[in-house]
A and B are shown apart, each in its own frame.
Chain A
Amino acid sequence: MELRTTQATGANLDSHNRKLVKKGLSGLGKLVLIGYAIFTLYPLYWLFISAFKTNEDFFNRPYALPLVWMRENIFRAWELGKMGKAMFNSTFVTISSVILTLILGILAGYVLSRFQFRFKRVAVSLFMAGLLIPIHSTLVPLFLMMKEMNLLNTYGALILPYTAFELPIAIFLAMGYMASIPREIEEAAMIDGSGWWGVFGRVIFPLCTPIVATISILAFLRFWNDFSFALVFINSQALKTLPLSLALFSDGFGTDYSLTMGAMAIAVIPTIVVYLILQDQIMKGMVAGSIKG
C-alpha cells in the first residue's frame, strides 16, 4: 500500500517536473524566437531611424534615436535622387509586366491543363525547365538580342523579359489550380452557346481569383525588386527603376549616408505596406509558388 503511494507521488512529481521543464523550455524557446525576430527586424528599424539623422548623429550615435528628426532628408533624397521618376518607372513596368504575365500565363495554363494536342508535352517540359534556368546565364545574349531589336532603353526591355521569366511559375500555378475546377462548368457554358474564348473569359478566368492573386503578388515582388535586368538593359536616366537608382544613388552620394538612408526608406515603404496588407495572401502564394517549384 505504502509502496504504491510513493510510486504514485513519484510519478506525479515526475510529470510535474516534466511540465515545469517543458514550460521553462518553451519560455526559453520564445526568448530565442524573439531574439531571432529582432535580428530580422533590427536592420530595418535602424534604416528608418538613420534616415532621419544628420550625418554626425549617424556616425556618433549609431543606435540612438535621432537627436533632431531631420525630415528634410526624405525631401532632399526625393528631389536629388529623382525618385519620383524612378517610382513612376517601377510602378509602370511592374504593373504592365504583372498584367501581361497574368493574361499569358493563365491562358497558357488553361490550354495546357485542359486540351490534348500534339506538342503539349514538349511545351509543358519547356516551361518547367524554365523554372531552373539561371537568369544570369542569359544576360549577355539577351542584351545583344535587344540591341539588335532596338529594345534597349525602352520599357519593353524590362517588361518583355520580366514576363518571359515569370511565365513558368505562373503557368505552373495556373495548371495546378485548373485541376480543381470541375469540367462540368465548362460543358454547361458550352451548351449555352459560348465559344472557348467566351468560356475562358466569362467562366474560367473569374473562377481563378485566388490563383490570380498569388501569381500577381509573386510577380509584383520579383519585378519591383529586380536589379540585374534593369542594370544591364537600362542606361537612360529617365527610365531607371527604384533599385537601379538606389544603387547609383549610393555611388553618387556615397558620403552622404543619411541622404542615402532617406532614399532607401522611401523605396522600401511601398513594399512594406503591400506586405503588411496582403501578408496572408503573400504567405499562401509563396507556399503555393515554391513548394512544387
Chain B
Amino acid sequence: MPTAVRSKSFIALALLPALLLFVVFVIIPIFWSAYYGVFEWKGIGASRFIGLDNYREILQDHIFWRALKNNLILVVSAIIGQIPIALLLALVLLKNSFFSRFIRSAVFMPMVLSTVVVGLIWGYIYHPQFGLLNTMLEAIGLDSWTHAWLSEPNINILAITIPINWSNIGPYMLIFIAALQNISPEIHDAANIDGARGGRKLFNVTLPMIWSTVVVTMVLCISGSLKAFDHVMVMTHGGPAQSTELLATYMYNNTFRVYRYGYGSAVSTIIMIISALLIGINYLLTRRKAE
C-alpha cells in the first residue's frame, strides 16, 4: 500500500484542478456580484460606492416586479404544466413496448434542440401574419381567436410558456419513468389485493412512493424557470415595452445594453436570493406534505 504522503499528494493533485476551476468560475462570481452591487459603475472609469442604493432602486423599479412576476408565471406554468403531463405520460409509457418507446423518443426530441432554435421556430409559429397558429385558427373559422401572440402584453408571457414547456416535458417524463420502475411489483400486488384502482391507487400508493422524485422535479422546475433567458431573448428580447422581461433578461439588458454594471450585479445577487428562497419554501412545503 502507498504511504500516507503519497496518497496525500494524489488527493491534492487530483482534486485541486477541479476545485480551483469551480471556485474561480462559479463560487467567487457570486460573492463578487454582491460586492459590485454596492457600486455605481459604467464598466469603464471610476466606480463610486453607493451602498445599498442599487438594491433600493431595484425594489422600487416596477420593471423588476414585472420581471419577477413573469418568472413566477413560468414557475407556476412549469409546475402545473410540465410535472402533471410528464407524470401522466410516464404512467402510460412505462411499458417497454415498441409503441411506447417510439412515443418516448418523440416526446424527448425537442430537448436536444438548442433553445435558440426552439425560440426561433416558435417565434415563426406565433407570427401574426403568416404564423402557423394564426393561419390554422383562420382555416378552422376561428378568426376572432387570432392574436399577435408575442406582442400583446399579458398574452405574450403565456405564449412564451408553451415552447418552454414543450421542450422540457421529455426529461421529466424520463425521471418519472425511472422512479416508477423502481417501485417493487409486490407493492402493486398488495394494492390490487386491497382493491385500490385507478385514481385511488395513483394518489394513495404510487404518488407517495415517488414523492421524493416529485419534489426533485419541482426543485428542477423552479431553478429551471428562474434560469429562463434564451427563449425570451430570441423571441422578444424582453419586449415590447418590457412586457416579457424576466429577471435574467432584466439583468442582461441593464448590464450589457445600458452599461450599468453595478446595477446589473445587484440584480444578479437578487436572482440568487430569490432562487434560494423559492427552493427553501418548496422544501418546507413538500416536506410537510410528505409527512
Q: Do A117 and B120 touch (CB < 8 A)?
A: no
Interface residues on chain A, number (Cβ under 8 Å): 91
- Tell me the B101-141 residues at the A interface (CB within 8 Å): 102-117, 120-125, 129-130, 132, 135
Q: Do A126 and B251 touch (CB < 8 A)?
A: no
Candidates A29, A130, A271; contact of B112 at CB < 8 Å: A271
Taking the complex as formed, is A3 at the interface, i.e. its CB lies under 8 A from any CB of chain B?
no
In this complex, the member of A46, A197, A227, A264 whose beta carbon has the largest number of chain B beta carbons within 10 angstroms is A227
Minimum Cβ distance to chain A for residue B256 (Å): 7
Q: Do A108 and B18 touch (CB < 8 A)?
A: yes
Of the listed stretches B75-83, B144-152, B172-180, B187-195, chain A binds: B172-180
Whole-angstrom distance between the alpha carbons of A161 and B123 in the complex? 29
Interface residues on chain B, number (Cβ under 8 Å): 89
Q: Do A227 and B233 touch (CB < 8 A)?
A: yes
Q: Do B18 and A171 touch (CB < 8 A)?
A: yes
The A contact surface, by secondary structure, is helix
Taking the complex as formed, is A207 at the interface, i.e. its CB lies under 8 A from any CB of chain B?
no
Candidates A126, A144, A279, A290; contact of B220 at CB < 8 Å: A290
Candidates A62, A167, A274; contact of B18 at CB < 8 Å: A167
Taking the complex as formed, is B29 at the interface, i.e. its CB lies under 8 A from any CB of chain A?
yes
Whole-angstrom distance between the alpha carbons of A143 and B259 in the complex? 12
Taking the complex as formed, is B64 at the interface, i.e. its CB lies under 8 A from any CB of chain A?
no
Q: Do B99 and A58 touch (CB < 8 A)?
A: no
Candidates B15, B117, B175; contact of A290 at CB < 8 Å: B175
Q: Do B14 and A137 touch (CB < 8 A)?
A: no
Whole-angstrom distance between the alpha carbons of A291 and B210 in the complex? 11
Taking the complex as formed, is A67 at the interface, i.e. its CB lies under 8 A from any CB of chain B?
no
Whole-angstrom distance between the alpha carbons of A250 and B135 in the complex? 22
With A139-B251, A164-B25, A227-B233 given, is the CB distance from A134 to B114 under 8 Å?
A: no
With A127-B22, A137-B268, A291-B216 given, is the CB distance from A144 to B36 under 8 Å?
A: yes
Whole-angstrom distance between the alpha carbons of A224 and B103 in the complex? 25
Q: Do B269 and A40 touch (CB < 8 A)?
A: no
List A contacts of B223 (CB < 8 A). Answer: 132, 134
Whole-angstrom distance between the alpha carbons of A150 and B128 in the complex? 44
Q: Do A140 and B265 touch (CB < 8 A)?
A: yes
A104, closest chain B residue (CB): B18
List A contacts of B33 (CB < 8 A). Answer: 137-138, 140-141
- Interface mask (A126-161 → B, CB under 8 Å = 1, otherwise 0): 110010111111111111110000000000000011
Candidates A34, A195, A227, A268; contact of B230 at CB < 8 Å: A227
Taking the complex as formed, is A68 at the interface, i.e. its CB lies under 8 A from any CB of chain B?
no
Q: Do A225 and B113 touch (CB < 8 A)?
A: yes
Candidates A30, A44, A275; contact of B99 at CB < 8 Å: A30
| Across the A-B interface, the 10 shortest Cβ-Cβ residue pairs | A164-B25, A225-B114, A108-B18, A141-B29, A37-B106, A196-B10, A138-B29, A136-B248, A141-B32, A104-B18
Cβ contacts A to B, 23 pairs, < 8 Å = A33-B92, A40-B109, A46-B125, A104-B17, A108-B19, A123-B15, A136-B248, A136-B268, A139-B251, A140-B33, A140-B265, A141-B29, A144-B32, A160-B25, A225-B113, A227-B230, A228-B248, A243-B117, A246-B117, A247-B116, A275-B112, A282-B112, A290-B216
